[in-house]
Amino acid sequence: MTSKALLKFTPSGIYCEQADVFIDPWRRVKRALITHAHSDHARWGMEAYLAHNHSIPVMRLRLGKDIRAQGIEYNQSIRINGVEISFHPAGHIIGSSQIRLAYQDQIWVVSGDYKVEDDGLATAFEPITCTHFITESTFGLPVYRWSPQEEVFSQINDWWASNAAVGRPSLITAYSLGKAQRILQGVDHEIGPVFTHGAVENTNEVLRKAGIQLKASRQVIGQGPDAHKKKDFQNALIIAPPSAVGSAWVKRFGTHSLGMASGWMSLRGARRRRAADRGFILSDHADWDGLNWAVQETGAEYVYVTHGYSEIYSRWLREQGYKSQVVETLFGEEEEQEPSPTLDQK
């Protein structure tokens, strides 16, 4: 390409000089475009944020009510100093977006995190034609291939039902933004009540207020006259962030079965290391086939690879004829980065 690259990779984040905006920056900047509300992408301290309308309430919950944030719809475009900027569904979590920046002969798409299976909750991923694509590679190895989610949910339902039949609570761990809501929507509520950890219920609450139709969930109440008792949990499914495991918070359930829902559960040993009784392979990231399909659909000549198996995946893309390189970012796998919960919340 003869013209100067529209985006560059700086110590503060991915930067578009022409529009003077950063995408998912990790240092304080004036204007930040945010792909989604996970903590490694939407960080505290930016002077102004632009994100999808559904990301804004969650960002206010996590970063503070008074952040300067503006919402945008999918496929709506704005123009800054000649650069056309638009947000497109990434299918990762509610509000998650790929951000497209077009200027002269270059079209860049920053995917953020994405998955290509439609989970019925996040707006489904749409491939966007571009010249330069920045992709994640969290599960960028051929060993990662997901089963259709219906199969995973029927495994979860079977596990829950067999526990409920003998009066044993089912505790399932899931990241509080994204996976938790996906489980809430995907399971069979006929089996029993669904309880949530406070970190999950706070997120559910702001999403409901934003107009997202979530199924019923109730927060576990630990103290006071309304406190739940052990017997309330006998046939229940309890959704909690991974960090709750091993904390005092789980003691109230007594003997229970522990399930974990994550893409990492496909790794031999991951479940054992984390003391789970059951591992369910459910991810909000694209698997190997999903990544390859998405990259191909963009038609991009240049593919930049970030978080995950970036070296390996980028080499694979070069072997397929793409101009590809690894870019260093501070994005990581959310499943590994759950903030510690406040114990014994009301």
User: What residues make contact with Zn ion under the rule CB under 5 A?
Assistant: 38, 40, 113, 331, 334
Burial of 231 (0-12, 13-18, 19+ CB in 10 A): exposed
Whether the CB-CB separation of 305 and 325 falls below 8 Å is answered with yes
The least CB distance from residue 102 to Zn ion, in Å, is 24
The least CB distance from residue 36 to Zn ion, in Å, is 6
Q: Which is nearer to Zn ion, 51 or 194 (CB)?
A: 51
What spatial distance separates the first Cα and last Cα of the chain, rounded to whole Å? 58
Closest CA to 70 of 46, 93, 90, 98: 46
The least CB distance from residue 201 to Zn ion, in Å, is 20
Q: Tokens 């369910």 sit at which residue?
A: 280
The DSSP code for 142 is T
Q: CA 222 to CA 243: how far, in whole Å?
A: 17
179 phi/psi in degrees, rounded to 5? -60, -40
The least CB distance from residue 326 to Zn ion, in Å, is 16
The least CB distance from residue 251 to Zn ion, in Å, is 30
CA angle 11, 14, 19 (to 5 degrees): 120
